């Protein structure tokens, strides 16, 4: 699914003794459930999900491809 990358936030905290590390991205995309405009999403990415050498800030305001499994979990990213 193509989505516009609007912003991101680095995440690093402990929850119940477990360290949570990753990046939360904020996106917008076309959706049939929205009457006008675009729907937005906040998506958590584990560090290994971001391709090596990719600087997310280079893609702000650009369209990226995000693939999800049947449960809505991210299974692939394409920044090209």
What range defines the domain where residue 18 resides? 2-78
Tally of domains within the chain: 1
Give me the pLDDT at residue 12, please.
94
Per the structure block, which two tokens stand in for 71? Answer: 């449960």
Give me the pLDDT at residue 47, please.
95
Integer Cα distance of 44 and 69 in angstroms: 14
Q: How many CA atoms lie within 13 A of 9 on its CB side?
A: 9
Integer Cα distance of 77 and 61 in angstroms: 16
Tell if the pTM clears 0.85, that is, is over it: yes
pLDDT (tens digit per residue) in 5-36: 999 999 999 988 899 999 999 999 999 999 99
For the chain, how big is the Rg over CA atoms in Å?
A: 13
**What's the mean per-residue pLDDT of the chain?**
95
């Amino acid at each position: 699914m193509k989505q516009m990358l609007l912003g991101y936030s680095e995440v690093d905290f402990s929850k119940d003794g477990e360290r949570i590390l990753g990046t939360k991205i904020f996106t917008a995309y076309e959706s049939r459930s929205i009457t006008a405009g675009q729907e937005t999403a906040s998506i958590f990415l584990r560090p290994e999900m971001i391709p090596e050498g990719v600087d997310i800030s280079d893609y702000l305001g650009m369209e990226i491809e995000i693939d999800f499994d049947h449960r809505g979990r991210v299974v692939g990213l394409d920044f090209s």
